[in-house]
Amino acid sequence: MDLYGGPTRCLLVQTKFSDFSFWNYQDVCDIVGARYPAAPLGLLTVAGLFPQHWIFKLIDENVEPLLDEHLLWADIVCTGGMLPQQKSMLEFIRRAHNLDRTVVVGGPDPTSQPGLYSEADFLVLGEGEITIPLFLKDLRDGKTSGMYQSEERANMLESVIPRYDLIRFRDYIMIGMQFIRGCPFNCEFCDVIELFGRTPRFKTNEQILKELQSLYDLGYRGHIDMVDDNFIGNKKKVKELLREIKSWTKSRKYPFFFTTEASVNLADDDELLQLMQDCDFRYVFLGIETPENDTLLFNQKNQNVNKPVADAVNKILSYGMVSNGGYIVGFDSESRNIATNMINSIQESGICMAMIGLLYALPRTQLTRRLEAEGRLFHLLAKNVSATDIDQTTSGINFATLIPRSEIFKNYAEILKTVYTPANYYRRVIYTALKIRPKYRHKPSFSTWLIYMRSFLRVCRKVGFSKETGLHYWRMFFTVITRNPMGIEAGVNLAAMFIHFQKQKKYIVQNITESLKEMETINEHEFNERMTGHSI
Ligand code: B12
Ligand code: SF4
């Protein structure tokens, strides 16, 4: 069969993420009537890069089950994803092969560890913009397998509009959009700079406006997540873009609001903050990693050194945006007081959504290379380091540590237990909701407003009548509504997120406690030798 030229039926499958991931806030999805937080932007982009005479179907296993009839419908089946999807992607390949389908695989984890995916017929690694044409050429020539990779970086000016038409918007809380690839910084543990390089590459403003317009024309309204690793990696460019978005969105009566990721130096630039507020940015994820300057320096995260997080968060709140924070425990240079330092830093800054993970040496990073050279990298998977099960909140520390492993786990459990008590969490919610000065521009349609109202009532019922959180919720609610009513939306949203965080905390703490018990029965030195495969 001519797979290239004919009306090829192409099935794209986003395989399952763990239900227990920090990022899989299912309870919040239930409250707002969605099925999964984020749409699969990678596969939507891949569909845009494939021949447009093909017929596409996209199944997201996080939203609906993948049936054999879906696979049997297709001439060619594709998947791609990240480390926590490794297990589900490998299962997918086997399942598709059992039904005699041709399987194409790509995305970040196959790119980092292609050897693990050798069962796939076609391995299309790296940036699809570069390697998909190579794969298509072979397909046209009748080849039935191949592996494609390239050192070349994609020219973002040639990137396509993702095929947003392949998803049902109502299944997701947010839809992703990408402006930049690559990051100028050099954090030792980061794989983004390995996958995408250190020279940020941008789409043009016109390209982004076209993508916005395509979502607008498809009838989408609401939350867009700019998935850039550091949206403000080039402040001049991003300001130009924001000016364009500002007039585009204003002339369409603000159909969208935005979230993104940025470095802490966002807080140094009032003009940028103002532009973000004008476009209706509401949440920013800050890669804080650790409150300890020595450790930041050790990790080459110099851009965060001597940047008081609390001040930055405060400033960002004054422009109507809530900061979320990413933190990591288990760095070599970490002080023995890390638990206290991190707890204090989180409480002081008022960051509610703190994603606290254990350091995981990702494949192909500077960190992994150093640990390998020092003979400390694990070659076996410890029970708690099965990164494919979940994310680095439970996996991580896949190396012999300098301070005792058990101490790192204890610190980690203590941090989570403390910052996610209802009292401490709600203290941060009140702080945030009292300080925030939002000027939300996007106004929901009447039907969406009814959904918001229903969601609000569900939060009041679920959180307000819970034994653990009821009192905290109503105290927060009345404090904020009387003292800073415009902060109530943020307050209620953050209260809803706590349903997920509380469950997730219990899951992780239980997991870590089991690992600690196991650690007590073994000699750590022997354990490290077994895991690294040699004496240390
Ligand atoms: C947005 C994002 C998220 C979002 C949304 C994810 C989603 N469902 O869309 C959230 C915040 C939920 C998230 C969470 C996590 N993420 Co994340 N995330 C990203 C980020 C910043 C952008 C991803 C994106 O949309 N890119 C834009 C699209 C267009 O690019 P793409 O997906 O890579 O697809 C391109 C190619 O890979 C290829 N391709 C992709 N799929 C396929 C399939 C086929 C068949 C083919 C041919 C090609 C192909 O073609 C595309 C066009 O070039 C990346 C970093 C980055 N810059 O890419 C990290 C990244 C993917 N995340 C990563 C990780 C580790 C995680 C977490 C485990 C922890 C974390 N770092 O936060 C969690 C786990 C999530 C979970 N649910 O369990 C790693 C993956 C590392 C790896 N080796 O697998 C990355 C690379 C960065 C990092 N170090 O944090 N993430
Ligand atoms: S700032 Fe973020 S994306 Fe850039 S190198 Fe550091 S961790 Fe990676």
Residue with CA at minimum distance from ligand 1 atom 3: 227
Ligand nearest to the CA of 288: 2
Q: What share of the chain is helix, strand, coil (3-state, %, to 5)?
A: 50, 15, 35
Name the nearest CA neighbour of 347 among 336, 339, 337.
339
Lowest mean pLDDT, pick from 194-203, 250-259, 386-395, 500-509? 386-395
Atom number in ligand 1 closest to CA 43: 41
Rg (CA), the chain: 23
> Do you know the residue count of the chain?
536
What percentage of the chain reaches a pLDDT higher than 90? 81
For residue 533, the model assigns a pLDDT of 86
- Phi, psi (deg, nearest 5) at residue 136: -65, -35
Pocket test for ligand 1, best of 3, 22, 23 (most atoms within 8 A of CB): 23
Which two tokens mark 212?
């916005």
pLDDT band for position 253 (50/70/90)? very high
Number of H helices and E strands in the chain, helices first, is 20, 15
**Gap between the Cα atoms of 350 and 219, Å rounded:** 36
Minimum-distance ligand 2 atom for the alpha carbon of 183: 4
Q: Which two tokens stand for residue 74?
A: 């297709």
Q: Are strands 201-202 and 180-181 parallel, antiparallel or unpaired?
A: antiparallel
| pTM value > 0.85 | yes
Nearby residues of 313 by Cβ (< 8 Å), 6 or more positions away:
267, 286, 323, 349, 350, 351
Q: Across residues 127-141, what is the average pLDDT?
A: 96
Which residue's C-alpha comes closest to atom 87 of ligand 1? 192
Which of 493, 485, 473 lies closest to 434 in space, CA to CA? 485
Sheet holding 122-124, edge to edge: 55-60, 9-14, 76-80, 102-106, 122-124, 146-148
Atom 67 in ligand 1: residue holding the nearest Cα: 391
Nearest CA to ligand 1 atom 58: 192
Contact at 8 Å (CB) between 375 and 345? no
Q: How confident is the model at residue 523 (pLDDT cuts 50, 70, 90)?
A: confident
Rounded Cα gap, residues 274 and 320, in angstroms: 9
- In whole angstroms, how far apart are CA 366 and each of 15, 299, 327, 444? 28, 10, 19, 45
Q: With contact defined as beta carbons under 8 Å apart, do 249 and 256 qualify? A: yes
Q: What is the mean pLDDT of residues 447-462?
A: 93
| pLDDT over threshold 80, residue 363 | yes
Where does residue 350 rank: exposed (0-12), middle (13-18), buried (19+ CB within 10 A)?
A: buried
3-state secondary structure 373-393: HCCCECCCCCHHHCCCCCCCC
What CATH homologous superfamily does 9-148 map to?
Cobalamin-binding domain (3.40.50.280)
Q: What is the average per-residue pLDDT within 25-48?
A: 95
Q: Are 358 and 408 in contact (CB under 8 A)?
A: yes
Find tokens 């696979």 and name the residue.
71
Query: How does pLDDT run across 152-179, given as a tens digit for each residue?
Result: 999 999 899 999 999 999 999 999 999 9
Give me 66's structure tokens.
């993948």
Condensed to tens digits (0 to 9), the pLDDT of residues 261-295 reads 998 999 999 999 999 999 999 999 999 999 999 99
* For the CA of 146, the nearest ligand: 1
**227: its two tokens:** 């998935």
Q: Which ligand is nearest to the CA of 191?
A: 1
Ligand 1: residues with CB < 6 A are: 17-18, 21, 23-24, 38, 40-43, 45-46, 78, 80, 82-84, 104-109, 112, 124, 127-129, 132, 176, 178, 191-192, 195-196, 227, 229, 362, 391-392
Ligand 2 contact via 200 beta carbon (within 6 Å): no
Distance 124 CA to ligand 1 centre (A): 15
Q: Which atom of ligand 1 is nearest to the CA of 181?
A: 57
State how far the alpha carbon of 158 is from the alpha carbons of 48, 86, 127, 129, 154, in Å: 12, 29, 12, 8, 8
pLDDT of residue 385: 43
CA 198–ligand 2 middle distance (angstroms):
9
pLDDT at 391: 61
Which residues, other chains included, contact 62 with Cβ-Cβ below 8 Å and sequence gap of 6+? 14, 16, 17, 24, 35, 36
Residue 195 confidence (pLDDT): 86
DSSP annotation string for 60-118? ETTTSPPPHHHHHH-SEEEEE--GGGHHHHHHHHHHHHHTT-EEEEESHHHHH-GGGGT
- 354 sits in the region (left: phi over 0; alpha: psi -120 to 50; else beta) called beta
3-state secondary structure of 420: coil
- Banded pLDDT at 392 (limits 50, 70, 90): low
Could you tell me which residues come within 8 angstroms of residue 490 by beta carbon, excluding any fewer than 6 positions away? 322, 432, 433, 436, 438
Confidence of residue 364 (pLDDT cuts 50, 70, 90): confident
Q: Which residue has the higher pLDDT, 382 or 61?
A: 61
How confident is the model at residue 381, as a pLDDT?
A: 58
Our mutation pick for probing the ligand 2 site, out of 181, 199, 230, 367, counting the most ligand atoms within 8 A of Cβ, is 230
Residue 324 CA to residue 316 CA, distance in Å, equals 11
Is 369 within 8 Å of 346 (Cβ atoms)?
no
CB atoms within 10 A of CB 472: 23
pLDDT at position 387: 46
pLDDT digits (tens, 9 = 90+) for 203-240: 999 999 999 999 999 999 999 999 998 999 889 999 99
